[in-house]
């Protein structure tokens, strides 16, 4: 920042005092040296405060006169941004609350980015050590300010981020809105994508973003109005508004939305939508404490008291409440995975899931565990209740479903491929390790023995969690799981030989004796005939065509159950499993199928031969 003083405590104007060095250094020369010299009469005689106020005012005037305040530059929004803003404002008006969640989430991302970069560049923290989010409200004027000490934005980043739509959640939202024909789908879409920064215009007529990146010497202000096709960017030159690092958003609320600027309302919204944000969120709240004050007594009353009691006179007091304003911590700063599982309710796990992964449906199951010993880590895993839409998801391991933390520092959500096999990529969760280095990279993860152990344990826990769903009181839960993620498990049969024993009991198939509901392999084995050695199956493209397969008749006659493999991946999966509980899988369409009939015929032949031999002996013996 050169010689410019950025410390707001020095600027001091928030208390209504004129700042001591209110002009940035480049303007200081505009003040005649005589005014600042010790011979200046102000310094010698006048009250110092008045003098400084005068100097500050003069410097501002001079700046103005000399046209040194950098002008605001005007830019047009990219066409998609204007469209998106229209869409947001017009379709989400009944769900305006989300604006705060979105802006807090951006602030939290900015803090995450800074914390991550500071691992290798600790100097980034030097301007402000506290990583937090502060929300202040001015209910009389309908203004909300949200300040974070995150990574901030340079001038170029302001242009790139708040005027164009990059490949962000916002872009995905726009696409989904376009595709959505369902009139009520918008509120669900918000849950899925988040609508980001532009949701500020749901409640604001004007938005100001003042931001300072550690990469830049200067602080910049982005400003725009609702329904405008343009925005401006200028340099922040008001010393009272300088921040050491990060971003301050000022929302000038629309007339009908000024109610959002009530401190209690903001507090409720934070607790409702952003309780589990991993940085402290402070809100500016009115507080009170009680104190005893002396009261002036009524003289008549005092005289009476004097007569009644000859004892020593005590002064009367009353209790009053003294009001003051202060920051109040409003969210839960202890990450859920560090808490004792016995003390976390299912509702809290579900809330954490919805907030962290932008989901609107509750998960089907969750698992919270800590592993100790050789490798230490904590994790909360979830099975979502629906599969992501999109055809490629089954083969796409890059789902950003696993958030990796090292010693509570968020590292990345890009490493799910390293922590889970791709067929389990639908599992969501957080993993926090104490044993990995903070600057962990993909290469380190791929070669790390610790990660290999973590991966094994995570997979095991994921299977335990899925097994838990099969035991759920609600039978529909597993049916729902199977419908959404059955394919993934079948892929596991092909790709993960080591876990066949865990996958196989979770598989489900239709059969010749269960055409409506799927059965498990355990149910099949229980239903096997006493002399049946193998598990029979037939592959077909539907239950109907499997039922009519020519080979089936013989087995149906004998009341032997046959699995119907009706999904193209089924047969390959079964062939990879080879057997279940020491019973081989046998395809009934194969020519050499031995149903045990061959033995029966042989038995008959032997009996016949034996009978004939007996006859012959009888005859010979007479």
Ligand X SMILES: Nc1ncnc2c1ncn2[C@@H]1O[C@H](COP(=O)(O)OP(=O)(O)OP(=O)(O)O)[C@@H](O)[C@H]1O
Phi/psi class of residue 134: alpha, beta or left (left: φ > 0; alpha: ψ in -120 to 50)?
A: beta
Shortest approach of ligand X to residue 414 CB, angstroms?
A: 15
For β-strands 535-539 and 428-433, DSSP reports them as unpaired
User: Nearer Cβ to ligand X, position 156 or 230?
Assistant: 156
Q: How far is the CB of 419 from ligand X (least distance, A)?
A: 22
Give the residue carrying structure tokens 């769903």. Answer: 469
Among the listed residues 368, 400, 397, 361, the one whose alpha carbon sits nearest the alpha carbon of residue 382: 368
170 is an interface residue for ligand X by CB under 6 A: yes
| 194 binding ligand X? (CB under 6 A) | yes
CB of 119 to ligand X, least distance (A): 18
Contact between 196 and ligand X per CB under 6 A: yes
Non-local (6+) Cβ contacts of 326 within 8 A are 284, 285, 287
Residue 357 interacts with ligand X (CB under 6 A): yes or no: no
Q: Which stretch binds ligand X (CB under 6 A): 62-70, 150-158, 407-415, 532-540?
A: 150-158
Of the pair 112, 418, the CB lying nearest ligand X is at: 112
Task: Evaluate the CA torsion angle 509, 512, 517, 520 in order and state its sign.
Answer: negative
Angle between the N-to-C axes of helices 98-120 and 263-273, in degrees from 0 to 180, rounded to the nearest 10: 70
Interacting residue with ligand X among 19, 24, 142, 150 (CB under 6 A): 150
Q: Which one of 123-131, 160-168, 474-482, 568-576 is the stretch in contact with ligand X (CB under 6 A)?
A: 160-168
Q: Pick one of 81, 161, 242, 458: the residue that binds ligand X (CB under 6 A).
A: 161
d(CA 259, CA 96): 12
- H or E segment to which residue 607 belongs: helix 597-621
Contact predicate 55/206, CB 8 Å: no
- Member of 92, 124, 151, 177 binding ligand X (CB under 6 A): 151
| Residue 142 near ligand X by CB under 6 A | no
Please say whether the beta carbons of 425 and 395 come within 8 A: no
Which residues make up each annotated binding site for ATP? 102, 106, 148, 153, 168-169, 192-197, 247, 442
Q: Minimum distance between the CB of residue 420 and ligand X, rounded to whole angstroms?
A: 23
Query: Least Å distance between CB 93 and ligand X?
Result: 19
Determine, following the binding rule CB under 6 A, whether residue 107 of this chain makes contact with ligand X. Answer: yes
Nearest residue to ligand X, scored by beta-carbon proximity: 169
Q: Indicate which single residue of 11, 51, 98, 153 sits in contact with ligand X (rule: CB under 6 A).
A: 153
Could you tell me the CA-to-CA distances from 589 to 490, 519, 541, 556, 599 in Å, in that order? 22, 21, 14, 14, 20
- Smallest separation (angstroms) from ligand X to the CB of 204: 14
Does residue number 214 form part of the binding site for ligand X (CB under 6 A)?
no
Write down the residue that tokens 């389990």 correspond to.
Answer: 424
Residue 344 CB, nearest approach to ligand X (Å): 26
Contact call for residue 201 and ligand X (CB under 6 A): no
Residues 412-441 that bind ligand X (CB under 6 A): none
* Long-range Cβ contact pairs of 473-482 (< 8 A, separation 24 or more): 477/364, 477/365, 479/518, 480/364, 480/385, 481/364, 481/383, 482/508, 482/518
- 500: enclosing H helix or E strand: helix 500-503
Task: Provide, rounded to whole angstroms, the least separation between the CB of residue 252 and ligand X.
Answer: 17
Among 132, 148, 236, 571, binds ligand X (CB under 6 A): 148
Q: Are 282 and 132 in contact (CB under 8 A)?
A: yes
Instruction: State yes or no: residue 168 binds ligand X (CB under 6 A).
Output: yes
Binding residue ranges: 102, 106, 148, 153, 168-169, 192-197, 247, 442
Instruction: Report yes or no: 104 and 281 within 8 Å, Cβ to Cβ.
Output: yes
Q: Between the CA of residue 39 and those of 21, 34, 112, 590, 617, what are the distances in Å?
A: 19, 7, 51, 110, 148
197 near ligand X, rule: CB under 6 A: yes
133 part of the interface to ligand X, by CB under 6 A: no
Q: Report the nearest approach of ligand X to the CB of residue 565 (Å).
A: 41
Cβ atoms of residues 96 and 202 within 8 Å: yes
* Residue 446, token pair as written in the block: 């791929």
CB 206, min distance to ligand X, A? 17
Stretch that binds ligand X, among 17-25, 193-201, 551-559, 574-582 (CB under 6 A): 193-201
Residue among 105 and 499 whose Cβ is closer to ligand X: 105
Q: Which is nearer to ligand X, 198 or 382 (CB)?
A: 198
Task: Quickly tell me which residue has 């099969």 as its tokens.
Answer: 470
Inter-residue contact 387 to 363 (CB < 8 Å): no
Displacement of CA 281 from its chain's centroid (Å):
16
106 is a site residue for ligand X (CB under 6 A)? yes
Residues 179, 96: contact at Cβ < 8 Å?
no
Q: Which residue among 8, 12, 163, 169 contacts ligand X (CB under 6 A)?
A: 169
Give the shortest CB-350-to-ligand X separation in angstroms.
21
x/- string (CB under 6 A) for ligand X, residues 53-92? Answer: ----------------------------------------
- Find all residues with CB under 8 Å of 607, minimum gap 6, and list them: none
- If binding means CB under 6 A, how many residues of this protein chain bind ligand X? 21
Please give the residues from 241 up to 260 whose contact with ligand X meets the rule CB under 6 A. Answer: 247
Instruction: Give the nearer residue to ligand X in terms of CB position, either 195 or 538.
Output: 195
d(CA 7, CA 1): 11
- Considering the rule CB under 6 A, would residue 224 count as an interface residue with ligand X? no
Give me the residues that bind ligand X (CB under 6 A), please: 102, 106-107, 109-110, 148, 150-153, 161-162, 168-170, 193-194, 196-198, 247
């Amino acid at each position: 920042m050169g010689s410019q003083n950025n410390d707001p405590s020095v600027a001091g104007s928030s208390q209504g005092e004129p700042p001591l060095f209110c002009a940035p250094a480049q303007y200081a020369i505009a003040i005649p040296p005589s005014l600042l010299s010790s011979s200046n009469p102000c310094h010698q005689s006048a009250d110092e405060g008045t003098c400084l106020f005068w100097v500050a005012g003069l410097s501002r005037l001079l700046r103005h006169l000399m046209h040194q305040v950098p002008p605001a530059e005007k830019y047009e929004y990219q066409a998609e941004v204007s469209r998106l803003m229209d869409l947001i404002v017009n379709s989400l008006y009944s769900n305006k609350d989300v604006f705060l969640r979105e802006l807090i989430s951006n602030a939290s991302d900015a803090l995450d980015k800074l914390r991550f970069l500071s691992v290798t560049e600790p100097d980034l923290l030097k301007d402000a050590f506290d990583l937090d989010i502060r929300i202040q409200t001015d209910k009389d004027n309908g203004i909300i300010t949200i300040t974070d000490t995150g990574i901030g934005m340079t001038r170029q980043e302001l242009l790139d981020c708040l005027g164009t739509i990059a490949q962000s959640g916002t872009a995905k939202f726009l696409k989904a809105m376009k595709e959505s024909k369902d009139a009520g789908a918008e509120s669900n879409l918000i849950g899925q994508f988040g609508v980001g920064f532009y949701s500020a215009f749901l409640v604001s007529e004007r938005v100001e973003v003042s931001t300072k990146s550690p990469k830049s010497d200067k602080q910049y202000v982005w400003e725009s109005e609702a329904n405008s096709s343009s925005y401006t960017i200028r340099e922040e030159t008001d010393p009272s508004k300088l921040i050491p690092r990060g971003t301050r958003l000022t929302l000038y609320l629309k007339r009908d939305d000024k109610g959002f600027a009530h401190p209690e309302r903001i507090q409720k919204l934070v607790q409702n939508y952003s309780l589990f944000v991993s940085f402290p969120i402070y809100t500016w709240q009115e507080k009170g404490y009680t104190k005893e004050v002396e009261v002036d007594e009524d003289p008549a009353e005092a005289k009476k008291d004097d007569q009644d009691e000859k004892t020593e006179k005590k002064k009367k007091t009353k209790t009053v409440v003294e009001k003051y304003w202060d920051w109040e911590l409003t969210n839960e700063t202890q990450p859920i995975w560090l808490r004792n599982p016995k003390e976390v309710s299912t509702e809290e796990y579900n809330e954490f899931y919805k907030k962290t992964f932008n989901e609107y449906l509750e998960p089907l199951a969750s698992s919270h565990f800590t592993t100790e010993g050789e490798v230490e880590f904590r994790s909360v895993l979830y099975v979502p209740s629906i599969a992501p839409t999109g055809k490629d998801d089954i083969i796409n391991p890059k789902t950003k479903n696993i958030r990796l933390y090292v010693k509570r520092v968020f590292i990345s959500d890009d490493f799910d491929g390293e922590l889970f096999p791709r067929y389990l990529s639908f599992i969501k969760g957080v993993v926090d390790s104490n044993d990995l280095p903070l600057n962990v990279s993909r290469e380190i993860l791929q070669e790390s023995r610790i990660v290999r152990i973590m991966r094994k344990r995570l997979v095991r826990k994921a299977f335990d969690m899925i097994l838990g769903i099969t035991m759920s009181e609600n039978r529909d839960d597993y049916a729902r799981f199977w419908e959404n993620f059955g394919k993934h498990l079948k892929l596991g049969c092909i790709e993960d030989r080591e876990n066949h024993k865990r996958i196989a009991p979770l598989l489900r198939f239709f059969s010749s004796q269960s055409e409506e509901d799927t059965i498990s392999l355990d149910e099949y084995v229980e239903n096997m005939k006493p002399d049946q050695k193998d598990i029979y199956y037939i592959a077909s493209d539907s239950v109907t065509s499997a039922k009519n397969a020519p080979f089936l008749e013989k087995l149906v006659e004998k009341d032997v159950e046959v699995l119907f493999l009706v999904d193209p991946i089924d047969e390959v999966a079964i062939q990879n499993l080879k057997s279940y509980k020491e019973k081989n899988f046998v395809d009934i369409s194969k020519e050499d199928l031995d149903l045990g009939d061959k033995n029966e015929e042989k038995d008959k032949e032997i009996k016949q031969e034996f009978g004939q031999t007996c006859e012959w002996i009888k005859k010979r013996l007479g």
